[in-house]
Structure 1
Amino acid sequence: MNHKTILVTDDLPIRTITLNRPERRNAMTREMQTELIGVFEETAATPCGAVILTGVGDAFCSGLDLSELQTMRDRTPAEHRADAERVARLLVSLYELPVPTIAAVNGPAIAGGTGLATVCDFTLATPTAKFGFTEVRIGFVPALVSAFLSLQVGDKRCRDLLLTGRLFGATEAQQLGLVNEIVDREELAPRAEAMARSLLANSPQSMSATKRLLATQNRAWLDAAIVAALEANADSRESSDFREGIAAFLEKRKPIWKSRC
């Protein structure tokens, strides 16, 4: 299958999926989201034993692409809803892959990039990697990723990361439990492969059953959280702060939040 925004390479039974928009710091587009969903769902039906997710160049994923922001204000409520449902499907399909997933974070992973990196079963990061759920800075609601983040770090830390929108480094991410290991840049790919191969020594059926069990234990809460997140996402995109945040970002100025007045 040909892809425009990602690379898929197989060294069976290890599959490596690489975000491939280095000129845009692997920023996410609707096309990339759709291609990733297709690959994740196809991978679930193959004899693949482990998945490595990484990026080309100096960034893992810098968040949503500018081209998406430029057209977002003109989308209809139905189109906004479709956008949110696509992101939910992306995160759920990655979370529920029946094989172990390893994110090799080679650089900044911001907003949606942080979501991709941390929903994986294992997250390796270089010492200079940066993370951040920056959505509130431009009038977005980090709704969908909040469901997964709350499971991972708990309510108090989740509030800190989502309400401040601050950037944080690999060391703090490891302390929060979002990163498993910090690995030097030149050792990142070899370490990810070594981890994948060590997992291949385990029973595929046992690992798949374990992942399915963990997902089942969280499903009732997660399903409800995603439904609420879809509504929050759709509602927020009709707000004045959403429109002002996008305008300020595109015009490279500080937003003026009229909702505060």
Structure 2
Amino acid sequence: MPDPSRLFIRALSGIWGNGYWVTWHPSARYRLGDVGTAQGPGLVPISSLDEIGITSSQLAPTTRDELTWRTRGGVSVTYKAAGQAGGPFAALADAQAGALVEFSRENALLVAYRGLTEHRLADQPLLARELIERYWAGTWELDWCVISHLVTAKSGTVLLAGEKGALIEMRAQATLGEAPAALADLAAGVRGARSSGLELELLGKQVTPFFRVLRLRRRFIRGIEGVYGDVRTLRTSANRPPDVPTDVLEEIRESPDAALEFPDQPTSALGDGTA
């Protein structure tokens, strides 16, 4: 079977916007301002801006009700209302509401998120200066990334079929009242009653499906080193300038984007798609 990370990331890449990483594994939880390194197709947090002592404010969050995606022609959903009898349901009592999700092919995917909110860091000029100063001082590494944009969901469901004919029967919580009536309803107040043939099954709350990272721009660092020499060598040099040169700080203040970049998710780490 193809690598599930490859299937999942390729399916959802670009859905939220260009440059956003798809969280793998879907159960991973991130925080705005997390600092980490790219390993495989994901980010491994090692600290945070707060823990390092960097203060960065946030912009007002933006919200979106729901997001759903499913493999076209590969997923069917049958909904059941409370009190409805018969049909294809085997694990739900007549008095229970829920849904049956069936997959007609291997690797078919269903994703549903509810209660989405995006948070973003502000003060990029200040952040760019902080990162350059710490890199110059040797307390920030070039491969470190910061989560600058984070999408959270109050609840989410991710289902990936491991074989043709995979299925899951889902029970709606009594608090939902009416039966699920749309894909987005499968992201809120449901839990699995029975399943078979699934490669991946996530029914979770407070998940972080998408994020974007920034890091020091490689070209900018090469420009500094072209003038002043290798920064790592300068850190141990007896005649090393104690502070970041003024012309570098002025360039950052005028154009913080010159010092920061938003790298794409490293898809090369996903391999060739085979298990």
Bin of the TM-score, shorter chain as denominator length: under 0.3
Q: Normalising by the residue count of structure 2, what TM-score does the alignment of the two structures yield?
A: 0.22
More contact order relative to length (CA 8 Å, sep ≥ 6): 2
Higher helix share: 1
Q: Normalising by the residue count of structure 1, what TM-score does the alignment of the two structures yield?
A: 0.23
